[in-house]
Structure 1
Amino acid sequence: MDNRCTTIGGLSFALVLGSPLALAEQGGSSTAPATLVLEDVQIQGSAQTPTSTVDGVVATRSATGSKTDTDMAKVPQSISVVGRTQMDQQNAQTVAQALKYTPGVFADARADGLFDGLFIRGFGGFGGLANFSKLLDGLPLQSGQYLATPAVDAYLLERVDVLKGPASVLYGQASPGGVVNMVSKRPTDTPLHEVQVQAGSRGEKQVAADFSGPLDEEGVWSYRLTGMSRRADTQIDHTEEQRVAIAPSLTWRPNDDTSLTLLASYQKDPSSYYTGWVPAQGSVLGSSSGKISRHFNPGEPSVDAYDREQTLFGYQFEHRFNDTWTFRQNTRYMDLNAEYKGYMVNYTNPYSATTGELNRLADHSIEKQQSFSVDNQLQSQFATGALQHTLLLGLEYDEAKSSMRFGRSYDVAGINYLSPVYASSPGLPALSSHTVQKPQQTGLYLQDQMELGKWTFLAGLRQDWAKTRTEDKVAGSHGSQKDQDLTGRLGVVYAFDNGLSPYASYSTSFEPVVGTDAQGQAFKPTKGEQYEVGVKYQPVGWDSFITLSAFQIKQKDVRTTDPDNAFYYVQTGEVRIRGAELEGHANLTEQLSLVAGYSVLDPEVTKDTTKANEGNRPVSVPLSQASAWLDYAFGGALDGVSAGIGVRHIGKSYGDTSNDLSVDAYTLVDAALRYDLQKAAPVLRGWSVAVNVDNLNDKHYVASCFSAGGCFYGQERTAVASLKYAW
């Protein structure tokens, strides 16, 4: 039996470790201590899981890097996690906003809240054409043929994970830059209730609510219901964004070995504006006609609109047979409808001979898409001698059917950015094409996570079979394309006692490329490979997680313009990106937290059909990024007040393939101020107010360019005030 001494209210007690629990008073007048016998006491704690709330700003576990519940320090690849606390501190309303303090992720490419356009380690894109891989709860969110791109409002999410580098072993078709895995809010074991209203400087109005908890005394059934509605002007004249979303979920957990969670959501973005671009001359570059205003609308307000409606439904099932075997099945069905109507600057020929006049084009697209994904996982935990194994065998199947009716016209009136005049009924191009695509993918994968003392080894292989059938409904023709590829992954980590965990890894990826060359030959999948070395550090006694990594990614068989036929592509391109990243998340004290990062990239086009482009930088990729967010809760006379301050620096990038156009670096400041109203009056318990300001210094900047005819202004200063009640 062991005793532990403590002092309470001037009396010294000993905690007698045994049964029953007893507190013995020490130093009394009696020679024998007085013993107070208590009832049995249960001490409970909740460990962090890959889907639970992140403790402050420091995440330690994730399933995104392995599809198993794994300590992030044991995954030999860089993983970044933004949890609910950080999203709330910064009032992130989109996934892109949530990731703006994540090194290696360029989330400021355009001021647009509809598509979450991102670049990860130099690979990605703008809006609906972004080619980074987007996941929700580990399953792919499949995009349509043009602008039918799914998105999930940040308020519906518990956390956002980024696995950097190739991830095809786990997820099949994937960008070599990495994948973004959004983790949905799901039912909690303890009651949770929150309502919130917001108002902002752009005429923003938002209401949101989040309710969760058990439905029965035994905790077998639990629920969550999250919803929001928002309307706001954009910084472009005569435009707005609207959104309404609701996400119900239900968990059935009859025992510790079995669980089933139903996840559903409905989101609609009616009559929202898809932010257009302006040419470099007049924005990045000087112009004899004058500067283009960042509020200038190059479209037609009477017709421009993007309408998206998406419905998601699926489940996550898990059953643990015994100490060795566990089976999981995750599924999701998505129905997505999108219509885009818009006038925009003709980026291939933007300038007119008339002073201040810009040439335009008009698009009209109607897209419908249904998709289904299922991922079956069989996990086995066993030992072979001193080697501990977590073996994962998986079979994934994804299919979709997308329909697009599309029309484009270059024969439309231009617009003068010095004195724009908008037509009352400008009309839209006829829907002259109708294409139906049916992609399918089947992947069989095997992964083994092995631990031997302080060593962790990871090895994985995946074989994918992909097929796409394309039908031209107007021409009455059809074609199909089949691809298959074997991808792999190897890595090793060594954990020192002082919290340092150096690692090294090699991983590969593939992405099918739909289409044919001028000779009618189907394109091969693009392939990527990455070498990465680094160290993960969890200082003993500190609640923090630091990652330092260096990497090289090479993507082969990239499409480039056919030198003999400008209307077709050939696959002779190659891109190589070398870089380094430093990222730290720390809960320094109970009052102070820090998120900081730095990344530097050396991107290069190593092969191109236009030989003059070889050795150049890929477009829109910042050569460096640095950021820091500090959040502090005051005490004393300022008890209840907390504040955050953040700085983001985006380095220089290039805006065309010839690198004749460059976009200057820029630095932005963000700030937040919050107050717990209970500190002013106890009757206001649960009430709090907050103000968030992005681009506090109101920096006027161009965020990026994709050509001399297409540049995006960055977001001007915005302020949002929030009132929240939680109980």
Structure 2
Amino acid sequence: FDQVYVRGYPVHIYGDYRDGLRQMTGVYATFRTEPYGLEQLEIVKGPTAALYGQSTPGGLLNSVTKRPHLGAKNNVYGRFTNTDSYEGGFDYNLGLTENGTWASRIVGMARFGETSNKIQDDRQMFAPTIRWQPNADTDLTIYTLFQHDETDASATLLNLNGEILDYRTSDADYDYQKQDQFQAGYDLTHDLSSVPVTLAQKARFGYFDLEARYLTGGVTGGGWKNSNTEYHRAAQAVEETLWSAQVDNQVITTFETTDAKHEVMTGLDLMYSKSDYRFGSSGVLSDYIFYLNDPNRSISGTTPAYTTFDDVTYNQSGIYVQDQIELGNWHLNGGVRFDYAERKRISRLTNTGSTDYNTATTFNVSALYAFDNGISPYVSWGTSFLPSTSQDSEGKMLNPTEGEQYEAGIKFEPVGFDGFFTVSAYRLTEDNVARYAGYSGSIGSYYDSIGKVESRGLEIEGSANVTENLSLVGNLAYNNAKIVKGSYRGNTPLVTPEKAASSWANYNFNQGPLDGWGFGVGVRYTDSSYANYTNTSKNKPYTVLDAAIRYDFAALSNKLDGLTLAINGTNLADNDAAICNNGYCYQIEGQTIAATLKYEW
């Protein structure tokens, strides 16, 4: 699945948004997002519950779907990689009426092949969108998405007494994960001409169907046997179907009081999802044994029968209000929200289950002063609330998590220089933290509550077009995270590196013998992190090098304007660093070199 972390917290489950609406998750599966279908990605750091509702304290990621734009460029591309992956796509804008009242955009792509780690990576995506703008006051965009993904269900590596082997826990010949998803929604805004009020509504229906199977030693009787020469495994299978529906209604009012300008947004959002979840396990079988002296033996077998049939429904409603104020050079913001959430899980086999109800009120306050020289210091405070969808090893729901963050920093946009820089410091806490603890055939994934986590961090980031030819971007993040309450008090949370940094430099030639060529080089560093709760095992730090070469054929002839060739390399040194998380170990993406031929018009 897609995994994103912000300030050390996973946001890909409860902080994964698309077009301002959360992408709901099931017991096992989540919606997948194809970057080629997006206009931009938006990262919000810190608690956002006062506006978006239930979320992690780390923040959220909002993906913005490509929309029709008058005069926008079209493109087609083809790509192949050194990992035998082949991909092609198109992005086409079409004006349906001469006056621009109706417009459409069609985006599609298809990929077949593997990643550098021999993980299947097939995807086909088709996303038609239509936009209606009958006048300057009304804007309606209707979008749809059809997507099929086929990959592997388990990418974990074998762990032999702390030594990470270059073999999968599962087997590529047996393993698969197939997911079909569909989404349809709209985004409507209407300005009332008689008063300074804007009405806005976002709504979306979502559906996915997943089927997966894999081999694992994490079962009774599984694991290393016979002097660690055999790894005994069982087959497990998952099938899940999810339906979701969401709507977010907003009324935005602008007015002035004395010298202050206000923009007040009030809203009501509703979310509903229903998951049909099935699980089955074969138990340990001799046909699935991994032999260390014969590691490349192909495995085949049947899919185990399902023995768990659960219906999981989720309801949430939230009411919120936010006021953004401009008072001279001051920019002030304050918001409050009330949430109600209900989660029900019922077994079809026994007709038994449980229902959990939660309510919470969350807040956010911030202030920024914009000096005329481009320096803008700011402070903020916010809280978050997230009803737990995680259960312990006995099937009981964990307590809701509560987050709080204090942040202060400086934003700098130099006058007369094309650049933007930010320095920020924060103190972020989360109580009743749930972390993955294992998998059970009867209840699925189960979690432990490790208590309260406190993170103190510093972030420095910036981007600049230094000259017409040279652009730079870089960031440095320091995050000192500690468990301050609970059975692991004083320890560092899992897979939370203290330092991370990345940089990228790009240079384009626009004259001389190298006219049309562009070159880029970058480096990414990730610090060491702990691999278990007891902090007795560590993941090593690692550094990867990236580079790119680009050629614009317009330098040869105006007739070739829009045709470009790019060769991008990631992890050029093929660093095979492994990341372990509470006993499960994965390998970072290895060397990948992709050549892309693109035509834009």
TM-score of the two chains, using structure 2 as the length reference: 0.93
Report what 2:129 is aligned to.
Answer: 249
- Aligned position for 1:686: 562
Q: For residues 111-170 of structure 1, give each alpha carbon's deviation from its aligned partner in whole angstroms, at most 9, with x where no partner exists.
A: xxxx12122111118xxxx54510001100001101x21011110011111101111111
Aligned position for 1:654: 530
Which residues of 2 match residues 310-321 of structure 1 at below 5 A? Answer: 310-321=181-192
Alpha carbons of structure 1 residues 180 and 516: separation in structure 2 relative to 1, 3 Å: closer
Q: Distance in 2 between matches of 1:444 and 1:432?
A: 40
Equivalent position SS for 1:351: strand
Cα distance change, pair 726–561 in 1 and its aligned pair in 2 (3 A): closer
CA contact (8 A) 2:390 2:447 kept: no
Task: Return the alpha-carbon distance in structure 1 between the equivalents of residues 244 and 534 of structure 2.
Answer: 39
Maintained 8 Å contact 2:156/2:170: no
Quick one: distance in 2 between partners of 1:473 and 1:236? 39
Q: Distance between the aligned counterparts of 1:423 and 1:581, measured in 2?
A: 47
- Residue in structure 1 matched with residue 467 of structure 2 by the alignment: 589
Which of 371, 377, 394 is the aligned partner of 2:250? Answer: 377
**Rounded Cα–Cα distance in structure 1 between residues aligned with 2:300 and 2:250:** 55
Q: Which of 17, 21, 35 is the matching residue for 1:139?
A: 21
Contact 2:206/2:245, CA 8 A, preserved across alignment: yes
Q: Given the alignment of the two structures, is residue 576 of structure 1 paired with residue 454 of structure 2, yes or no? A: yes
Q: Structure 2: how far apart are the matches of 1:131 and 1:317? A: 26
Instruction: Deviation per CA, 1:640-673: give whole Å up to 9, x if none.
Output: 1111111001111110001111111111111111
Q: Distance in 2 between matches of 1:522 and 1:706?
A: 22
1:354 is the counterpart of 2:227 = yes
Residue in structure 1 matching 2:367, options 459, 479, 492: 492
Native 8 Å contact 1:655 1:662 kept in 2: yes
Task: State the 1:544 CA deviation.
Answer: 1.8
Q: Could you tell me which residue of structure 2 aligns to residue 297 of structure 1? A: 168
1:559 CA displacement: 4.1
- Distance, in Å, in 1 between the alignment partners of 2:448 and 2:524 is 38
Q: CA deviation at 1:438?
A: 0.9
Q: Given that residues 306 and 341 in structure 1 are in contact (C-alpha distance below 8 angstroms), is that contact kept between their aligned partners in structure 2?
A: yes
C-alpha deviations, 1:669-725, integer Å up to 9, x for none?
1111110112123332221111001001222211x2112x31111111111101111
In 2, the alpha carbon distance for the partners of 1:622 and 1:191 equals: 41
Partner Cα distance (2:432, 2:86) in 1:
47
Given residue 711 of structure 1, which amino acid in structure 2 is its aligned partner?
Answer: C
**Matched residue SS, 2:50:** helix
Alignment of 1:596-615 (within 5 A): 596-608=474-486, 610=487, 613-615=488-490
Deviations 1:541-570, CA, capped at 9 Å, x for gaps: 1222211111111111224799xxxx9877
CA distance, structure 2, for counterparts of residue 518 and residue 192 of structure 1:
53
- Matched residues in 1 for 2:556 and 2:48: separation? 50
Offset at residue 522 of structure 1 (A): 5.2
- 1:466 & 1:558 partners in 2: Cα distance? 18
- Retained in 1: the 8 A contact 2:117–2:590? no
Amino acid at match of 2:16: K
Give the secondary structure class of the aligned counterpart of 1:724: strand
- Note if contact 1:628-1:647 (Cα within 8 Å) is conserved in structure 2: yes
Q: Number of aligned pairs? A: 589
SS at match of 1:192: coil
Cα distance in 1 for partners of 2:297, 2:3 equals 28
Matched, 1:122 2:2: no
Decide whether the 8 Å contact of 2:158 with 2:169 is kept in 1.
Answer: no
Return the letter of the residue paired with 2:55: A
- Could you tell me whether the CA contact under 8 Å between 1:560 and 1:573 is conserved in 2? no
CA pair 541-281 structure 1, distance change in 2 beyond 3 A: farther
Mapped contact 2:156–2:168 kept (Cα < 8 A): no
C-alpha distance in 1 between matches for 2:310 and 2:531: 31
Residue 417 of structure 2 corresponds to 542
Query: Is the contact between residue 13 and residue 30 of structure 2 (CA under 8 Å) also seen in structure 1?
Result: no
CA-to-aligned-CA distance 1:380-406 (integer Å, 9 cap, x gap) = 110111111010001000001111011
2:265 equivalent in structure 1? 392
2:179 corresponds in structure 1 to 308
Greater Cα radius of gyration, structure 1 or 2: 1
In the alignment, does 2:513 pair up with 1:640?
no
1:616 aligns with one of 458, 474, 491: 491
Paired letter, 2:376 = S
The equivalent residue for 2:427 is 552
* Letter aligned with residue 272 of structure 2: E
Structure 1 CA distance for aligned equivalents of residues 294 and 169 of structure 2: 11
| CA spacing shift, 1:673–1:559, aligned 2, 3 Å | closer
Amino acid at match of 2:38: L
- The answer to whether residue 139 in structure 2 is matched with residue 266 in structure 1 is no
Whether the 8 Å contact between 2:384 and 2:404 is mirrored in structure 1 is yes
* 1:173 counterpart residue number: 54
In 2 relative to 1, CA 132–584 (structure 1 residues): closer, same or farther, beyond 3 Å? farther
Aligned to 1:228: 109
Q: Please, which runs of 5 or more residues in structure 2 have no aligned partner?
A: 438-442
Contact 1:461 1:487 in 2 (8 A): yes
C-alpha change, 1:228 and 1:520, in structure 2 (3 Å) is closer
Name the aligned partner's letter for residue 414 of structure 2: P
Q: Specify the alignment match of 1:721 in structure 2.
A: 595
Shift of 1:420: 1.6
Alpha-carbon distance in 2 for matches of 1:560, 1:684: 54
Q: Distance in 1 between matches of 2:316 and 2:343?
A: 9
**Who is 1:201 aligned against?**
82
Cα distance in 1 between the residues matched to 2:436 and 2:422: 39
What one-letter code is carried by the residue in structure 1 that aligns with 2:529? S
Equivalents in 2 of 1:329, 1:525: separation in Å? Answer: 29
Amino acid at match of 2:572: L
Match status 1:459 vs 2:334: yes
- Paired residues of 2:116 and 2:591 also in contact (CA < 8 A): no
Q: Which AA in structure 2 matches 1:483?
A: N
Aligned CA distance change for structure 1 residues 713 and 569 (closer, same or farther; 3 Å): closer
Indicate how the Cα distance of structure 1 residues 421 and 202 shifts in structure 2: closer, same or farther if over 3 A, else same: closer
* Separation of aligned partners in 1, 2:388 and 2:69: 42
1:210 aligned onto 2:95: no
Q: Which residue number in structure 2 is paired with residue 82 of structure 1? A: none
Measured in 2, the distance between the counterparts of 1:569 and 1:628 equals 36
Q: Which amino acid aligns with 2:468?
A: E
* 2:504 counterpart letter in structure 1: W
Alignment of 1:343 with 2:215, yes or no, is yes
TM-fit CA distance, 1:525: 1.3
Secondary structure of 1:233 counterpart: coil
* 1:414 is aligned to 2:285: no
* Distance across 2 between alignment mates of 1:718 and 1:222: 38
For the residues of structure 2 that align with 1:710 and 1:571, how far apart are their CA atoms?
A: 19
CA contact (8 A) 1:279 1:347 kept: no
Give CA deviations for 1:486-510 in whole Å, capped at 9, x if unaligned.
Answer: 0000111111111111111111111
**Equivalent residues of 1:174, 1:510 under 8 A apart:** yes
1:414 positional shift: 2.9
Letter in 1 for 2:26: G
Q: Which amino acid letter does the alignment assign opposite residue 393 of structure 1?
A: T
- Go from structure 1 to structure 2 and tell me whether the alpha carbon gap of 1:292 and 1:495 turns closer, same or farther (over 3 Å shift): same
CA-atom RMSD in angstroms: 2.2
- Could you say which structure has the higher strand fraction? 2
Give me the whole-angstrom Cα distance separating, in 1, the residues matched to 2:213 and 2:532. Answer: 27
| Equivalent residue number for residue 219 of structure 1 | 100
Aligned to 2:440: none
Q: Structure 1 pair 324/717, CA: closer, same or farther in 2 (3 Å)?
A: same
